Amino acid sequence: MRSSGNWVRAKVVCDGGDVTIVALASMVPRAVAAAAELSRDQTQTEGARTVLTENTGLFIGGTWRPASDGGLIEVQDPANGKIIAEVASGTVDDALAAVAAAQAALPSWRQTPPRERSEILRRAFELMTERREQLAELIVRENGKALTDARSEVVYAAEFFRWYAEEAVRAEGSVQTAPGGANKILVLRQAVGVALLITPWNFPAAMATRKIGPALAAGCTVILKPASDTPLTALALGAILAEAGAPPGIVNVLPSRRSAAVGEAVLADPRVRKLSFTGSTEVGRGLLAEAAKTVVNCSMELGGNAPFVVLADADLDQAVAGAMVAKMRNGGEACTSANRFYVHASIAGEFAARFATAMEKLTVGPGLEPGTDLGPLVNAAALEKVSELVEGAIGAGARVLTGARALDRAGYFYLPTVLGDVPPDAPILGEEIFGPVAPVVPFDTVDEAVAMANDTEFGLVSYLYTGDLATGLRVCEALEAGMIGLNRPVVSDPAAPFGGVKQSGIGREGGHDGLLEFTETKYIAVQW
């Protein structure tokens, strides 16, 4: 065992092999127990494994520090409900210290040549790629998702650093002659300034890199406020960016249980000029109201209620396979997850039966167990919500084709579920399920399907399966969503503009649009 300040590094010799832990001294007994359990119960990779991220303090101005009041967040493993780490819980004073650090670093970072900013992001991509297995396991431990999903997330998350490493040198402006010929119109893109980034628990790596990447590429400095359920991944990313060469104060990471107070204080600070938020529409509305007080530039990626429409001429095998991906990616805990399945009445029965059969083949268990397809939901509240929605649908007349119950074991597990013949007015169709539940609703005409798909305040993503491209494109134009998967169950791509319409958000993330979200347009009238 070696000690450095408050940190201790120890090797634990267990039946399943040696495990390395790095933790605060106060956490060693708990970390040792977690390491021993993991060594016994999980398949080990060759050599030592880091169970807990080394840094569990606040990352402000390039240094790791405790919360000003000593407050802590207990991080829970959703697979068994046990506490795996304690992370500093930032106060309002800590938040304002992060704003000060970001503001102090802003002038030099804005003036840093784009190529230098690019190289830091590129190095961060390389470090994430090198450590993808360690990061994936960390995500599983605090989020619960299956290891295969976590590995995919790390690859996807790292790609935002690579994409914006390339975009950093492409924040182009323009020059043209005014129509009257009196002057030139010179347009510049400049970094908006200090940015508050608030991310959710369902993709703790990808939702952070999707914001940090373009912000740093544009020349902004950031304060990352991760979800309280999953702060460890965000802290690991802060350490990676520092190792990649990000100067002190450029990236600040502020876990906190005091989300409302911290958000209000930061948005009220005139030094903060940007808010980028991913989360529920309800919380987003409140943040927009706070941001309005100081007219902060906002990008909001909010809730979804994605319809999955299957027309009568669709390839049924392709549609079922697509439904499995669109529904079960990340265990259904995704804003892009297919939430409502509208299937033509002529094929609805067969589609639902095949869908249920495919769902029954999934293996449910702790995310790190070999062969697991579906891990637990993130916490007890999520499990309760999913259970209530399913019970309500059954009460409204839906038929259970498979699943529809929680597992009687430790952790927050819910069986993959397909509900058939769901009434069009069932409450489950009006809410974002955020779990492995698929309600199937039959329809008779394309117009009826479009009307039901659009009958929501949300408009993030829609999915459509059809054998006719012309029909498909016409329906895509009629669907009220910012993104459409046409005969394709995945729409997310770092190179594509991600975002919704209606109450699913404002602005776009990803692609060149994502870079521009962190810039202001400056027009200079000049004559030469």
> Residues with catalytic annotation?
301, 335
Strand ranges in 133-181 using DSSP code E only, listed in sequence order: 174-177
DSSP 3-state of 455 = coil
For residue 412, CA distances in Å to 77, 464, 498 come to: 10, 31, 30
What one-letter code names the amino acid at 157? A
Which helix (H) or strand (E) element contains residue 211? Answer: helix 206-218
The residues near 293 (Cβ < 8 Å, ≥ 6 apart) are 267, 268
Long-range contacts of 237-240 (CB under 8 A, 24+ apart): 237/128, 237/205, 237/208, 237/209, 237/212, 238/55, 238/59, 239/53, 239/54, 239/55, 239/59, 240/124, 240/127, 240/128, 240/131
* Number of Cβ atoms within 10 Å of the Cβ of 68: 15
Burial per residue of 45-61, b for 16 or more beta-carbon CB atoms within 10 angstroms, e otherwise: eeeebbbbbebbbbbbb
> In 3D, which of 265, 103, 93 has the Cα closest to residue 192?
103
What one-letter code names the amino acid at 171? A
Per 3-state DSSP, what percentage of the chain is helix, strand, and coil (rounded to 5)? 40, 25, 35
* Number of Cβ atoms within 10 Å of the Cβ of 457: 12
> In 3D, which of 209, 260, 201 has the Cα closest to residue 227?
201
Helices H / strands E in the chain, number of each: 15, 23
Whether 319 contacts 465, CB under 8 Å = yes
